[in-house]
Amino acid sequence: MVLEDTTTESNIEPIEKLNTKVPFVAQIKKNKKYVITGVIGLLITMIGLLVIFGSPSAATVFKDMNEKMLETKSVTIDQKLTMVSAESGSAEISSKLFVNMKSSTELLAKGNFTLSIAYASSPMMIGGDVIKVGDSSYVKYSEISSSDAAISSSFTTIESKLKNNWIKVRDNDQFAAMASTPISSTVNILPTPFANLTDTQRKNILTMLNDDSFYTIEESSKVDTAGVTAYKYLLTYDKDQYKKMAKALSGYVSYFKSDDSSDSEITSMTVWVNINTKQIIKIEYKGTTSSGDVTGTITFSGYNQDKAVEKPSDYSIESELLN
């Protein structure tokens, strides 16, 4: 489970003192799947056929879901994630990203985000738009602020220099690096390299998901949500089986990372699956990490839409704007 020097004016508090690392550890585990095949007998009545095809069972929908999800070419992911640490406070991230997963080497994504850090030393709020094209990410801030009066004036000055400019994200940049968190957390929390898998790779992943020990449906119920009828599943999973699948995915897809050494664990997971499309609607989870507790909600919408994702035609470097 993985989560992911500037120069200031003389009257601004040194940015080094504002540096805050956001602990992010969590991994959502995908659901087991094996393909259902069979032949409907000639003696089944029309009423029986309507029951079978009009309202498939929870087990059938669950089994069909993973194969359907592996066909996904693009999807919009709305994520809300909270990390709470007894020592350092909390961090909350909200993001809504359109993610294109057709390539196994180049992830395309665009959307918006807010990052709220409630650490006693450096409380801050950062928000804006973000674009990712392959290894390059770009951010355009709409807000950089702090509720701490001691550093608020410094943040106001920084915001005035960075706001509404497209900035290329670089690892050593203070705020631009934080802006990469929404995309990196989405990629690392969700094993989402779907449609870019080859037939052989997809077969290997499905074989792992088909293992009876991968997931267990503890409870299931039919519900109405987001305007559709869905099955709601309370799941448990085998951590070792998930690590095995994640390691395989990281070998197939360069931008998905796997961490075998992580001691993080999902303690509660609920998944909603559209009965008609067999696609995931929403995932809710709770977990523990070495840094604290984590809770999250991930909503999926707009499957397989065709949207252009391109880098900004004009962008700056954070340090240049702050000089």
Q: Are strands 280-289 and 292-301 parallel, antiparallel or unpaired?
A: antiparallel
Statement: residue 81 has pLDDT above 50: yes
Q: What is the average pLDDT value for the chain, to the nearest integer?
A: 76
pTM for the predicted model, two decimal places: 0.78
pLDDT of res. 189: 56
pLDDT of res. 246: 81
Amino acid at 151: I
- H helix count then E strand count, the chain: 8, 11
- Residue 73, domain extent: 1-323
Q: Tell me the pLDDT tens digit for each residue of 172-204.
A: 888 776 777 777 766 655 544 455 788 898 888
pLDDT of res. 90: 85
How many independent structural domains does the chain possess? 1
Quick check: 27 and 262 in contact, CB under 8 A? yes
Backbone angles phi, psi at 233, to 5 degrees: -115, 130
pLDDT of res. 128: 94
Range name among 31-45, 71-85, 216-230 with the lowest pLDDT average: 31-45
CATH number, domain containing residue 308: 2.50.20.20
pLDDT of res. 188: 58
pLDDT of res. 33: 28
pLDDT of res. 220: 93
Annotate 284-321 with DSSP letters as a single string. Answer: EEEEEETTEEEEEEEEEESTT--------SS-B-HHHH
pLDDT of res. 38: 30
317 pLDDT tier (thresholds 50, 70, 90): very high
- Tracing tokens 């991968």 back to the chain, one arrives at 214
Higher pLDDT, 110 or 34: 110
Nearest CA to 110 among 122, 119, 97? 97
Q: Tell me the pLDDT tens digit for each residue of 3-59.
A: 333 333 333 343 334 343 333 323 323 332 222 223 223 223 223 333 334 568 888
Report the alpha-carbon distance of residue 256 to residue 290 in Å, rounded: 21
Report the alpha-carbon distance of residue 68 to residue 273 in Å, rounded: 11
For the sheet containing 74-85, what is the strand order? 166-168, 136-145, 124-133, 108-117, 89-100, 74-85, 292-301, 280-289, 265-274, 228-237, 215-225
Average pLDDT over residues 103-114: 85
pLDDT of res. 195: 58
